[in-house]
């Protein structure tokens, strides 16, 4: 009995340690800033390098009151930032929206503890190093063969090798990396509660909302809010160097969106895995919208390891990858790719 209690305590400690950002208070809270032109830019800075940059151009006499999420020091909206107005006008920090803080805390506390403390997923870029482009590999092979052909002439072979290495480096550096954002829908089968977790490395576009909850890993990383207006519409983003940024919101989904007994009411899953209460995983393949849960498929049944951390034992679990955007909806140049998954404990 004593050994069993010790094992249970170790499991709970591991879960608490692995949850990381899930236990942090929100790094951002809504605040109000009053602006008067002429302005080109406004900087709001806290002592630990967090703050906001407002890239808004206001003409002389133009006034604007802006509500924006600010990275509150220590997660507590009490500090007053240093405000610098650039362009000749004025900017004033008008205060934190305390009603937003209280409402967000109440909404979060109403969620089941298991859903609030569930381990957060890693950002897609942190799962592994990107593969080298095919052009770089072909250039490397061609350089090796040419150097081998002229191996009897050392100077010529060395020159060919150096040229090939330079060409490989140029081909690899010209490859523009595509940013990927992870969106994970987390469900609690017993209560029917849902949250949406968005994870990204270093940069995340957001919409200022009273329901916005932001954490970072590392927890105390300098976090900056950037607001711009390139085409008349306000664009908001969070920026933190060498940091994973998490955005969490409570979702209101229809009852029974994903259950064993009923049809799929959430969205088509390109792949699905189910864990039984005894811990055995089975692969279920594609699960179409409006269809019942498919039966087990032969072969290995484990889902990807990054989305299957230390989850509660003795209960069913569903993990699925949501269908990507339809093939007709092309990704705009420079826009990040969105990877969408779902995870339900108590399935």
**Each residue of 300-321: pLDDT tens digit?**
889 999 998 888 889 999 999 9
Q: Are residues 287 and 226 in the same domain?
A: no
Q: Which residues in 126-157 are b (16+ Cβ under 10 Å) and which e?
A: eeeeeeeeeebeebbeebeebbeeeeeeeeeb
238 closest CA partner among 209, 210, 216, 211: 216
C-alpha to C-alpha distance for 257 and 264, rounded to whole angstroms: 6
- Name the domain boundary from 173, 198, 230: 173
pLDDT of 14 over the 70 cut: no
Whether pLDDT at 104 is above 80: no
Please count the structural domains in the chain. Answer: 3
Structure confidence at residue 159 (pLDDT): 55
Claim to verify: residue 26 and residue 142 sit in the same structural domain:
no
Question: Do 104 and 188 reside in the same domain of the chain?
Answer: yes
153 lies in the same domain as 83: no
Same domain, 167 and 183: no
pLDDT value at position 36?
Answer: 97
Q: How far apart are CA 10 and CA 292, in angstroms?
A: 38
Whether 6 maps to a domain, the answer reads no
Question: Does residue 247 register a pLDDT over 50?
Answer: yes
CA distance 304 to 294: 19
pLDDT at 86: 96
Strand blocks (E) in the chain: 28-36, 41-45, 51-55, 63-71, 82-86, 90-96, 180-188, 193-206, 213-217, 224-228, 235-251, 269-275, 281-287, 317-322, 337-345
Q: What is the mean pLDDT of residues 283-292?
A: 96
| Domain edge (last residue) among 251, 277, 312 | 251
Whether residue 319 lies inside any domain: the answer is yes
Q: Are residues 75 and 101 in the same domain?
A: yes
Decide if 49 is inside a domain.
yes
Q: Compute the distance between CA of residue 217 and CA of residue 222 in angstroms, rounded to an integer.
A: 11
- Where do the H-state alpha helices sit in the chain? 2-19, 98-109, 113-116, 134-149, 154-173
53 or 105, which is more confident: 53
- Are 276 and 337 contained in the same domain? yes
Identify the domain boundary among 225, 251, 277: 251
* Residue 268: per-residue pLDDT: 96
* pLDDT score of 136 more than 50: no
Q: Are residues 85 and 223 in the same domain?
A: yes
229 or 271, greater pLDDT: 271
**Structural domain of residue 97, as residue ranges?**
22-125+179-251
Please tell me the distance from the alpha carbon of residue 94 to that of residue 67, in angstroms, as a whole number. 10
In a domain, 260, yes or no: no
Whether residues 183 and 162 fall in one domain: no
In a domain, 61, yes or no: yes
> Are both 111 and 233 inside the same structural domain?
yes
């Amino acid at each position: 009995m004593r050994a069993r209690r010790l094992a249970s305590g170790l499991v709970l400690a591991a879960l608490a340690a692995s949850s990381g950002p899930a236990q942090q208070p929100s790094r951002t809270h809504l605040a109000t800033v009053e602006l008067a032109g002429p302005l080109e830019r406004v900087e709001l800075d806290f002592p630990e390098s967090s703050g906001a940059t407002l890239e808004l151009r206001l003409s002389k006499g133009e006034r604007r009151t802006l509500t924006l999420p600010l990275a509150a020091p220590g997660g507590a909206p009490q500090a007053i930032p240093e405000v610098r107005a650039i362009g000749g006008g004025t900017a004033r920090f008008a205060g934190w929206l305390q009603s937003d803080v209280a409402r967000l805390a109440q909404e979060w506390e109403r969620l089941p503890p298991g859903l609030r403390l569930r381990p957060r997923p890693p950002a897609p870029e942190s799962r592994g190093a990107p593969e080298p482009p095919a052009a770089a590999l072909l250039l490397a092979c061609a350089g090796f063969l040419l150097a081998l052909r002229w191996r009897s002439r050392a100077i010529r072979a060395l020159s060919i090798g150096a040229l090939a290495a330079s060409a490989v480096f140029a081909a690899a550096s010209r490859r523009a990396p595509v940013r990927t954002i992870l969106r994970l829908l987390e469900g609690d089968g017993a209560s029917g509660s849902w949250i949406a977790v968005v994870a990204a490395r270093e940069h995340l576009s957001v919409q200022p909302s009273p329901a916005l909850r932001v954490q970072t890993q590392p927890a105390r990383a300098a976090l900056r809010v950037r607001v711009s207006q390139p085409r008349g519409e306000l664009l908001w983003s969070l920026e933190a160097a060498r940091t994973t940024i998490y955005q969490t919101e409570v979702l209101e989904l229809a009852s029974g969106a994903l259950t064993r007994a009923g049809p799929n009411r959430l969205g088509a899953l390109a792949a699905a895995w189910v864990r039984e209460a005894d811990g055995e995983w089975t692969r279920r393949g594609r699960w179409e919208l409006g269809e019942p849960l498919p039966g087990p498929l032969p072969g290995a049944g484990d889902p990807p390891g990054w989305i299957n951390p230390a989850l509660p034992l003795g209960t069913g679990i569903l993990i699925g990858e949501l269908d990507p955007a339809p093939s007709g909806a092309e990704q705009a140049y420079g826009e990040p790719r969105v990877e969408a998954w779902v995870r339900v404990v108590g399935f």
